[in-house]
Structure 1
Amino acid sequence: MAVVTFKCPNCGGDLQFDPASQKFQCEYCSSEFTQEEAAAANQQATESKQQEEKDESKNDREAFEEADLYLCPSCGAEIVTDATTAATFCFYCHNPVILQGKLSGQYRPDKIIPFAVDKKEAVDSFLKYVKKKRFIPRNFFCKEQIEKISGIYFPFWQYDCKTEGGWHGEAKRIRVYRTGDMEHTETKVYHLDREAEVEFRELTRNALNKENRQLVEAVQPFRLEETKDFSMEYLSGFLAEKRDIEKSDLAEELHKEVQKHSADMVKSSVHGYDTVSSLESEFHIQGENWKYLLVPVWVLTYRGKNDKIYYYAMNGQTRKISGELPIDKKKVIKLFFGVFAVVFLLMLLGGYWGW
């Protein structure tokens, strides 16, 4: 399995993607490069890895089933990852490392939504968020904890298709009228047949089985119109997860969903009746298109005293925030007794007990 870092063509330092400028920056000489310039500068290193990818891609799936060990190309430190980690940091020299083989071949994403929020903004938003919440343990937002906030790309499937078919239903018109003292109800029944073509675009499904998939699900949606063609350079400076859910695992569910939506949409287009009910529908899937997509999320996790994992997540594109935060029971108890003491004193001074 090949590992790769992207180097500055001016000084040889490591390049990282900067969400604010949407360019790649060198932390040593402060040079900036577009994606095209960064890719061109590292083309030779990339090409030297391609043959390794071809030789190993057929064994990728087996290798992903257990922890993997790599060597950092900057300092030689060993890097241990699990089966779905695709980009990480060297724990020793802190240089970004992309495990290139994990995103090559069939696992190479088609599209990516680059981070639009940098780490400083992510930290500032986190602090504002927790300050609005009461009873949060202090060590949840201490300096050491905040430094663990990480920008992670999560894997998604994007699905487009068309459906063609027919819908059969029954509609009724009901008229109530009176003649003298008699009330009459007239019901006319109509049999309806409709044929339709329905287009579905940008349906998304999480492509990760891990428990931490809730981190990305909680901060949806993403603006899919802002996706870019995938390039490895966008991963530099961030973590990334590789998918472990294949499109074949999702196809049956999505087919049923679009077929049901197709029938519902045709039914909703019928007007002019008092009631409309479906009798039968049959829609066939046409022109399927699947795309493998990476989306950006800032994440901070915290293990509570009961070993429960609490989390804070921020959409790295839209800035939507979600979290399941821990509660400091000592703070709750202290507030309770503080309020109780004040109420007790006021009642005592007011002679409530007649003392």
Structure 2
Amino acid sequence: MAAVSYKCPNCGGDLQFDPGTQKFKCEYCSSVFSREEVEAANPEKEGEDGSGETAQYKAETDAGSEASLYQCPSCGAEIVTDATTAATFCFYCHNPVILQGKLSGEYRPEKIIPFAVSKKEAVDEFLKFVKKKRFIPRDFFCKEQIEKISGVYFPFWEYDCKTEGDWQGEAKRIRIYRTGDMEHTETKIYRLERSAEVGFEELTRNALNKENRQLVEAVQPFRLEETKDFSMEYLSGFQAEKRDIEKKDLVEELHQEVKKHSSDMVRSSIQGYDTVTSVSDQFHLLGENWKYLLVPVWVLTYRGKNDKIYYYAMNGQTRKISGELPVDKKKVLQLFLGVFVAVFLFMLLGGYLVW
């Protein structure tokens, strides 16, 4: 399983994907290249399938998950990752490293939504967000903390299918009228039958079991119509996770969901009655299609004094923001005391307090 980085054709520096230009930029000579130019300059990297095991060792972490050790292709430093990490940075030379074998064969994504937000833009958006929050600890948005903001590709399943089936129900029309002093209620009951074919597109499911899956779930949805064919170069300069949830783990849940939605859609299409009640339905799948894709999220985490992990996440495509932010209790106390003292002095000077 190879650890690789993509090199600049001009100077040999490491290339990173630039969300602003949607091209690949050399951090050393500032040259910019298209994906086709990068592939042409690094043909052996794109073509490798990662089947050759070159990791130095594999070990079990304290949590029981598998950890692997790789060698940075730029400086030779050792890089330790867990079982689902597919792209990261070398801690020593800070160059982007892609653990290519993690995304090869059946684990190679079909689609990717490239980052459309640069790190500078992500930091600016983060600062705007936290400045609106009065009780956040200062060290949550200090320079050292902000530098930890990371662009991460998270794994997702996209699911399309069609269903076909029959629906039966009961409907009522109710008419109330008067004759003289008497009020009458007339109820007509109808038996309804419908046959339907229903199509579903772009249903998504998180493909990661890790605790940090909440980061991507909080900033959905993504514009799936903007996906591109997957290429390893898009990972350069970012971190990436490999899926550890398979189709078989989701298929039963999705089948039940689309069958229920099919029945509900037929039910909601019936108009002209006072009440409509479902009696029975039977839908089956005509066909289905799965796609494995990676989606972009900017992430910043913070360990509070209580050891709780707080997070800030921003959709790397739509800029949607979510976060569970820490609260500085000293700031809250200072505000409380300031308000209390001000009110106390006002009441004292106004003669509202009697000693």
Q: TM-score, normalised by structure 2?
A: 0.95
Hey, what does 1:211 align to over in structure 2?
Answer: 211
CA RMSD of superposed structures (Å): 1.6
Correspondence for 2:264: 264
Q: Does 1:230 align with 2:207?
A: no
Structure 1 residues 201 and 34: CA distance shift in structure 2, 3 A? same
Whole-angstrom CA distance in 1 between matches of 2:39 and 2:312: 33
CA positional deviation for 1:175: 1.6
- Equivalent in the alignment of 2:352: 352
Q: CA deviation at 1:118?
A: 0.4
Q: For residue 129 of structure 1, what is the aligned residue in structure 2?
A: 129
Q: Which runs of 5+ in 1 are unaligned?
A: none
Residues matched between the structures, number: 348
The alpha carbon displacement at 1:65 in A equals 4.9
1:204-242 Cα distance to aligned partner (Å, 9 max, x none): 011111111111111111111100000000000000011
Structure 1 residue 354, shift from structure 2 partner: 3.6
**Secondary structure of the residue that 1:211 maps to in structure 2?**
coil
Match of residue 149 from structure 1: 149
1:198 is aligned to 2:204: no
Amino acid at match of 2:293: L
Offset, 1:179: 2.4
Aligned twin of 1:246: 246
Identity %: 80
How far did residue 149 of structure 1 move? 0.3
2:100 equivalent in structure 1:
100
**2: distance between equivalents of 1:265 and 1:46?**
45
Counterpart CA distance in 1 for 2:83 and 2:100 is: 13
Distance 1:185 1:132 in 2: 58
Q: How far apart in 1 are the matches of 2:86 and 2:141?
A: 28
Which secondary structure does the structure 2 equivalent of 1:300 belong to?
Answer: strand
Gaps of 5+ in 2: none
Aligned to 2:273: 273
Q: Hey, what's the Cα distance between the residues in 2 that align with 1:44 and 1:83?
A: 24
Shift of residue 174, structure 1, vs aligned partner:
1.4
1:37-48 to 2 correspondences below 5 Å: 37-47=37-47
SS at match of 2:66: coil
Q: Provide the rounded CA distance (Å) in 1 between the counterparts of 2:158 and 2:327.
A: 37
- Structure in which a larger fraction of residues adopt helix: 1
| CA displacement at 1:343 relative to structure 2 | 1.3
Q: Tell me by how many angstroms 1:180 deviates.
A: 2.4
Is the Cα contact below 8 Å between 2:159 and 2:204 reproduced in 1? yes
Conserved 8 A contact 2:51-2:101:
no
Aligned equivalents of 2:45, 2:197: Cα separation in 1: 48
Question: Would you say 1:33 and 2:22 are equivalent positions?
Answer: no
- State the partner residue of 1:186: 186
- SS of structure 1 residue aligned to 2:177: strand
CA distance in structure 2 between the aligned counterparts of 1:346 and 1:172, rounded to whole angstroms = 66
CA contact (8 A) 2:46 2:232 kept: no
